[in-house]
């Protein structure tokens, strides 16, 4: 298939709706976070592969915070949309909502961001179509994705430096007030702040 140079966001927007059956529940009776992550990966793949016109792989997942529990019997809908494209990468936003069909209550459980990369027949990253932004919302999401990418790489760089420069002996005082006990050194147990 010959790929177009650009594709609209709407071309690949995908919604996946799934009933939360008892087999998805944890011992507390709520839906396992892993089930939701798996569904998020599925909808992200569908959306990315449609935009790319190629097989895609998940490279990173950002901003996964489960804000509210999901109950057995609820209908979970996952909405995926391409926010940004690089040369071979696609950044998607995934919004997850859970609906109680009896009461009609809808809750927003989380919004997360996936990075997928398109692969060719020989498993090498391959170019994806550019993105046609058809309204202000799509422009806003594209710009936000650029900021998220920049801040993520800044954070990664700073964190790597912090890890390299971390000296246990010099930073032991930071454990004061934390709920831990260093058993191999003769230190008093920390008191929680
Ligand atoms: C991600 C992967 C394709 C990168 O391969 P690579 O040979 O390093 O390719 P490149 O350096 O050319 O990077 C390709 C794209 O991935 C992006 N990328 C690489 N690592 C990334 C990361 N950690 N976070 C976000 N994007 C990343 C690059 O920015 C580049 O995007 P661009 O082309 O739009 O600029 C490769 O590491 C891979 O296949 N990983 C395994 C993915 C997988 O199997 N996932 C399933 C879960 S197990």
Encode pLDDT of 134-143 as tens digits.
999 999 999 9
**Residue by residue, what is the 3-state secondary structure of the chain?**
CCCCCEEEHHHHCEEEEEECCHHHECCCCEECHHHHHHHHHHHHHHHHHHHHCCEEEEEEEECCCCCCCCECCCEEEEEEEEEEECCCEEEEEEEEEEECCCCCCEEEEEEEEEEEEEECCCCCECCCCEEECCCHHHHHHHHHHHHHHHHHHHHHHHHHHHHHCCCHHHHHHHHCCCCCCCCCCCCCCCCCC
Confidence of residue 175 (pLDDT cuts 50, 70, 90): very high
How close is the Cα of 117 to the center of ligand 1, in Å?
6
Residue 1's pLDDT is 81
pLDDT tens-digit readout, 29-57:
999 999 999 999 999 999 999 999 999 99
How close is the Cα of 114 to the center of ligand 1, in Å?
12
Kindly report the CATH number that applies to the domain delimited by 6-134: 3.10.129.10
Q: Are 114 and 94 in contact (CB under 8 A)?
A: yes
Of all protein residues, whose CA lies closest to atom 5 belonging to ligand 1?
A: 125
Residue 188's pLDDT is 67
**For the residues 160-188, what does the mean pLDDT come to?**
90
Site residues for ligand 1, CB cut-off 6 Å: 57-60, 86-89, 115, 117, 125
How close is the Cα of 73 to the center of ligand 1, in Å?
37
pLDDT tens-digit readout, 76-112:
999 999 999 999 999 999 999 999 999 999 999 999 9
Among 17-26, 29-38, 130-139, 171-180, which stretch is predicted with the lowest mean pLDDT? Answer: 171-180
pLDDT tens-digit readout, 119-128:
999 999 999 9
pLDDT at 192 over 80: no
pLDDT at 191 over 90: no
With CA atoms as reference, report the closest residue to 127 among 83, 91, 87, 86: 87
Of all protein residues, whose CA lies closest to atom 38 belonging to ligand 1?
A: 59
pLDDT at 67 over 90: no
Of all protein residues, whose CA lies closest to atom 28 belonging to ligand 1?
A: 89
How close is the Cα of 45 to the center of ligand 1, in Å?
15
pTM (2 d.p.): 0.92
Q: Domain boundaries in the chain?
A: 6-134, 136-193
């Amino acid at each position: 298939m010959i790929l177009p140079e650009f594709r609209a966001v709407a071309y690949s927007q995908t919604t996946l709706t799934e009933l939360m059956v008892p087999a998805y529940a944890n011992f507390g009776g709520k839906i396992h976070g892993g089930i939701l992550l798996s569904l998020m990966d599925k909808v992200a793949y569908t959306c990315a592969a449609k935009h790319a016109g190629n097989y895609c792989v998940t490279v990173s997942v950002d901003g996964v915070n489960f804000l509210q529990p999901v109950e057995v019997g609820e209908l979970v809908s996952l909405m995926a949309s391409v926010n940004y494209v690089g040369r071979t990468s696609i950044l998607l936003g995934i919004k997850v909502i859970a609906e109680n069909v009896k009461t009609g209550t809808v809750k927003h459980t989380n919004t997360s961001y996936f990075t997928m990369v398109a692969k060719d027949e020989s498993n090498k990253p391959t170019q994806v179509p550019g993105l046609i932004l058809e309204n202000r919302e799509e422009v806003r999401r594209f710009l936000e994705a650029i900021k998220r990418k920049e801040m993520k790489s800044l954070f990664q760089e700073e964190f790597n430096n912090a890890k390299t420069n971390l000296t246990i002996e010099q930073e032991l005082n930071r454990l004061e007030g934390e709920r831990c006990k260093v058993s191999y050194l003769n230190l008093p147990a920390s008191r929680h702040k």
